[in-house]
Amino acid sequence: MTASQSRRPGLTERLLDVHNLKVHFQVSDRTIRAVDGVDFHVRPAECVGIVGESGSGKSTLVRAVSRLMPNLRINELSGDLRFEGRHILEMSERDLRALRRSHGFSMIFQDPLGYLNPTHRVGRQIAEALSPQGKGRPDGQRVHSLLQEVGFSDPKSVAHSFPHELSGGMRQRVMIAIALASDPKLLFADEPTTALDATVQLQVLQTLYRIHKERNMAVVIITHDLGVVAELCDRVYVMQTGKVVETADTVDLFERPKHSYSARLIELSAHRVDFRSAAP
């Protein structure tokens, strides 16, 4: 943790700054307050965890921040959201696309199979993220180097595969490669390992952690697994029913949880795996 601190451009600088974010959905005649007045920020090159059980609003939070909202009736979407000082919610589609295409933020998801197009080869899907104009070559050098970066020793054959021909862990690596194509400053990882086998989870997290360090890229990990948070994240936000109930440095949270909900989450997460020491 000290290592990552020393590499930060400045402790007070904020890459992402969110104030009083509210996301309310209309489901039939009820209003769901998925996110209800959340403050949260991410510093450059920092790893932040957002924990909470299903339905606590953590996924909606990052979807709203990255402006990738699901197709539900949104009643209210408000707040002061800034990425590098620019207001995200007021940004035009064009500016938003530019931000997604280069040096902005990217996202990876829980279910990599559903988030890859089944009818396109992997190489093409990565090339498309490199150059949305469609000029990127699916078997080009940049595609191969991205695949190598996420841990594939045989990028050529992976680039030529269809998503269904790969394993779950391989697919998630491909998702990471797609996310890295835009050279983002911030990567949102929405439950990146929930759908994977335990051993594969470890490998994917190791890859994620290594890239986070090598690229000095900020990462926001959403998870209900405190073990992941304990090993990866510098700071943690604990969410419950659409609100942040506690925020702390990871070490502090585990040693002195202030909120009873956090204490219970820690109690419940028994297993902790050390994957910082293991080579990816």
Strands across the sheet containing 30-42: 30-42, 16-27, 73-83, 86-87
**Torsion from C-alpha of 23, 65, 16, 213, nearest 10 degrees:** 130
- Taking the complex as a whole, the smallest distance from the CB of residue 184 to another protein amounts, in Å, to 10
| The one segment of 36-44, 124-132, 194-202, 231-239 that binds another protein by CB under 8 A | 124-132
Report the residue from 3, 6, 164, 198 that binds another protein according to the rule CB under 8 A: 164
What is the residue whose two structure tokens read 């209309």?
A: 26
Residue 162 is given by DSSP the state -
Q: How buried is 252 (Cβ within 10 angstroms: 0-12 exposed, 13-18 middle, 19+ buried)?
A: middle
d(CA 182, CA 277): 29
Answer yes or no whether residue 98 interacts with another protein by CB under 8 A.
Answer: yes
| The one segment of 99-107, 200-208, 227-235, 240-248 that binds another protein by CB under 8 A | 99-107
d(CA 242, CA 130): 35
Report the residue from 138, 162, 227, 258 that binds another protein according to the rule CB under 8 A: 162
- Residue 231 in tokens: 């090993």
- Taking the complex as a whole, the smallest distance from the CB of residue 87 to another protein amounts, in Å, to 18
| The one segment of 51-59, 159-167, 204-212, 222-230 that binds another protein by CB under 8 A | 159-167
Answer yes or no whether residue 234 interacts with another protein by CB under 8 A.
Answer: no
Site for another protein in 192-221 (CB under 8 A): none
Answer yes or no whether residue 157 interacts with another protein by CB under 8 A.
Answer: no
Give the closest residue to 192 by CA, choosing from 165, 219, 155. Answer: 219
Looking at the Cβ atoms of 94 and 271, the one nearer to another protein is 94
| The one segment of 3-11, 64-72, 140-148, 253-261 that binds another protein by CB under 8 A | 64-72
Answer yes or no whether residue 106 interacts with another protein by CB under 8 A.
Answer: yes
Report the residue from 62, 175, 248, 266 that binds another protein according to the rule CB under 8 A: 175
Please name the helix (run of DSSP H) or strand (run of DSSP E) that holds residue 230, with its range, or none: helix 226-232
Looking at the Cβ atoms of 23 and 107, the one nearer to another protein is 107
- Taking the complex as a whole, the smallest distance from the CB of residue 77 to another protein amounts, in Å, to 16
What is the DSSP pairing of strand 105-108 with strand 186-190? parallel
- Residue 229 in tokens: 């948070």
d(CA 212, CA 97): 23
d(CA 103, CA 44): 12
Residues that bind another protein (CB under 8 A): 66, 68, 71, 96-102, 106-107, 109, 111, 114-120, 125, 128-129, 132, 134, 162, 164-165, 175, 178-179, 181-182
